[in-house]
Amino acid sequence: MTARFHLFITPLYFDRCLEAGLFGVGKGQMNQIANVHAGDFAFVYTARRVGSRTRPLIYGPFRVLSEPFFNDSVVWAKTKTAPQTDKYPYRVKIALTPEHVCKEPLPVQKLWDLREEGKVKTVIDASALTNKSVINLLPNEGRLVLEAILQFNPTPSVDTWPYFGHALHEGPVDPCEFTDGPQPEFRWEAQLETYLLQRPQLIHSLAGFNLDDSWQVETYNQLSTYIAGGAIDIAAIFRKNVFDMLLTLGAAIFEVKKGQLSVDMIDQLTEYVEWTARLLPGLERDMIHGVLVGRDFARPTQQARQLAVKVESLAPRYNLAVVTYRVSKGIVEFERFCGVGD
């Protein structure tokens, strides 16, 4: 399997992350940590005060030791309304890589140099390092950052951190929190995205791919773009082992909305398709399925009809699908509304 890399961002709490051997996010960002898995590599971006200057630095490499879990024991910052709980209860356990412990950090300028050379595309600008908690790096990007850090640390150091957080209980991450009323929906879009990321087979099915053991899938989420409106919620690259070679045969991107969908969201989806074709190597536009996910319409409306007409009109250029979900007695069900696969 291809090595997976992440950049964790914590301007204030890096030392505490090291002591605890933990990295955590709040409820509104649970989706950002939902795509982090045991065995992945991680780097940590933080800021250090040096004299009168604040220097941005990247530490690592770390190994992720657990799947995402819930534990609200206080580690970093108390919640104002419930001081016995932490603001960042969605967590993974981490530790410096025992194969080569690096003590010296990498100046963030090296990351900008790699970006200027066109070798790093997922970190667009400095805003990505302030607006997010986790950035998925592409495999080639992660290897370049890993190589740069090891060049700063040719001789391995010794890991002496206590990692007291490794003893914490790993509770389940449950994204199923819904609004009340006749048409319940997820309270946060981050919860719907997390729900999908926890179910990779559902992502594959909604994207229109039927996979067997010969396939490998790389999944990314919250990929930064220059497009107004933010990031690609979920991107999946589908590769198949054919003739003893792993060939890229397709991809899917998901734009996730917790509420009802509107026609203008299709334009955003097509822009993301175009961006993905430029961002991810080996992909052409016609290989990418764009999937828009939102709450069901409950009954036929003009908005629903306009949405279907818009998707059909774009069919010659884009492979698009609209998928709706509904919540019944706490159970989430998905249904293809229109588009690819009709």
* 43 & 98 share domain: yes
Quote the longest CA-to-CA distance of the chain: 66
pLDDT at 197: 98
Span 250-297, pLDDT tens digits: 999 999 999 989 899 999 999 999 988 888 877 889 999 999 999 988
DSSP H/E element including 196: helix 189-197
- For 141, residues 6+ apart whose C-beta sits below 8 A from its C-beta are 5, 114, 119, 120, 121, 122
172 part of a folded domain = no
* 259 & 305 share domain: yes
pLDDT at 341: 58
- Report whether 275 contacts 253 (CB < 8 A): no
Q: Looking at 132, 167, 202, which one is the last position of a domain?
A: 167
* 251 & 154 share domain: no
* 18 & 151 share domain: yes
Q: How many domains does the chain have?
A: 2
* 194 & 157 share domain: no
pLDDT at 27: 95
pLDDT at 230: 74
* 258 & 218 share domain: yes
Two tokens, residue 25: 């996010």
* 116 & 261 share domain: no
- Report whether 28 contacts 92 (CB < 8 A): no
pLDDT at 342: 55
* 213 & 316 share domain: yes
Span 77-128, pLDDT tens digits: 999 999 999 999 999 999 999 999 999 999 999 999 999 998 888 887 777 7
Which domain range does residue 327 map to? Answer: 189-339
Positions of the chain with pLDDT lower than 50, given as ranges: none
Q: CATH number of the domain that 45 lies in?
A: 3.10.590.10
Q: CATH number of the domain that 267 lies in?
A: 3.40.1350
* 147 & 195 share domain: no
* 155 & 194 share domain: no
Q: Looking at 167, 199, 233, which one is the last position of a domain?
A: 167
* 199 & 139 share domain: no
Range 103-136 burial, b when 16+ CB lie within 10 A, else e: eebbebebbeebbeeeebbbbbeeebbeebbbbb
